[in-house]
Structures are given as structure tokens and as C-alpha cells.
Amino acid sequence: MPPEDFGAVTVHSVKDYTSKGNVIKKIDMTESSKLWQNPWQLSHRVRLHETLKKTATSPDGIGTPATLHVSSRVAAVDPQSATVTLENGDIIQADLVVGADGLRSVTRKAVVGHSGKLIPSGKAAFRFLIPREAALKFGSIKVWKLIDMENLPTWINGKVGLLGDAAHPFLPHQGQGGGVAIEDAVALAVVFSGDTTPEEVPERLKLYEKKLSDLSSKLIPERIVQI
């Protein structure tokens, strides 16, 4: 679906403001946007999420529609048998497990043997979509501490792969983390074409990891995450 159909807008310029609303700098994107194949677009994350969910679960697309099981917290993942154990004790058997479980990923432990070393960055962020003065009146603004994570030695193990923040959380300032998580998903779709057999899963995951490492070598210096 074209992003404009769910409210995405194209970036024509970027402006930095002082707290009093004066423009510090303005970057015109007209020329630099010609460097890329597609326009730089911004979308509200709820609309993007809803559209992706609808597309994945719709019977109208290619292949079997995805089924979502909510309220199913994962407690552990076994990379060799591709089994997922839920907190309620249920065990799910799969051919491939993709851990897209974010910063505090449980799957990460199954891949690298530990949960990943999270490090305070010394930075914090305020997030709001209303004038700061109005927000401060509520007195309920929380400082959102940002933390870094040491690079993982690998993003795959056996039949398990990590995706998005679980693999490589990013600095929020550039608005990249969600986009890169989607790019990971596209890479996964390419290497796991419809004819992949369960026996081929570990080898295909190695191709997936290669794509991720090519990308992250360009982007990982920008990585920072939230707590």
C-alpha cells in the first residue's frame, strides 16, 4: 500500500528550533532527496503499525495469512529444536523462530547465551506532541533515559534469528530504528522464499545475518536505546 494512503508525508525540509520557537537551522531536502530511490516519508507509528498488521493478517495477500496470538509472553526459546516456551507453560514447535521482541529481548539469550549488556548513555529524552509549556503544566512529564547496548557477536543461532531492536537497537534521534526493523523483515522475506525447507533454515539464516551485518556496519555507530 502506498504510504500516502495511511497518512505518510514527504519530508521537504528539516528545521531545528530554540525553546522559544526561533529557527536555528533549516536544511532544504530538495537536492539531497534525489540521491535516494524513494522519497523520505514520515508516518504516525500507530497508522503504520495498523497497516502492517492488516496486510500481514489479510487473506487477500500472497501466502497464508499470519495469525496473531496476543497475551502470550515468551519465557524461553530453544535454538536447536526451534521451540518456544510461553510463561503459561505452553510449548510451540516451529521451523524457524524470529525474535522481534525488542530491547529486553528474551530470544537474545537463546542466540548469544546472555541478555545483552545494556549501558546507560548518559542521555535522556522528552517525548511530546503538544507545546512544552502546556505539557509542563501537567507535571507528569517523565524523563526517558537512553541507554546503549554492546554489539552482539551474532544475530543467529541454529533455527533462531533476531530482528529489529532485539538485534541492534538504534539511537532514536534519527528516527531509524523502526525503519531498520522493517528492512530486516524484508531481508528475511527475501532469503526465506516460499520453497524453503525446514532443513535449509540454518543456512538461510546465515544469509540473513550477512545482510544485517552489511547494513549495521553503516548504521550501528548511531545505535542507542531506551529504558
Ligand X SMILES: Cc1cc2nc3c(=O)[nH]c(=O)nc-3n(C[C@H](O)[C@H](O)[C@H](O)COP(=O)(O)OP(=O)(O)OC[C@H]3O[C@@H](n4cnc5c(N)ncnc54)[C@H](O)[C@@H]3O)c2cc1C
Contact 26, 36 (CB under 8 A): no
**Closest CB to ligand X among 182 and 200?**
182
**Closest CB to ligand X among 159 and 223?**
223
74 touches ligand X (CB under 6 A): yes
Q: Which parts of 101-120 interact with ligand X (CB under 6 A)?
A: 101-103, 106
State whether residue 111 is helix, strand or coil: helix
d(CA 183, CA 83): 25
Among 117, 127, 132, 137, indicate the residue that binds ligand X (CB under 6 A).
127
For the bound state, the minimum distance from the C-beta of residue 96 to ligand X, rounded and expressed in Å, comes to 17
175 touches ligand X (CB under 6 A): yes
Site residue total, ligand X (CB under 6 A): 22
**Closest CB to ligand X among 172 and 202?**
172
Length of the chain: 227
Among 82, 181, 187, 191, indicate the residue that binds ligand X (CB under 6 A).
181
End-to-end CA separation in angstroms for the chain: 33
Instruction: Say how many CA atoms lie within 13 Å of 186 toward its Cβ.
Output: 8
Nearest to 51 by CA among 11, 84, 5: 5
**Closest CB to ligand X among 84 and 191?**
84
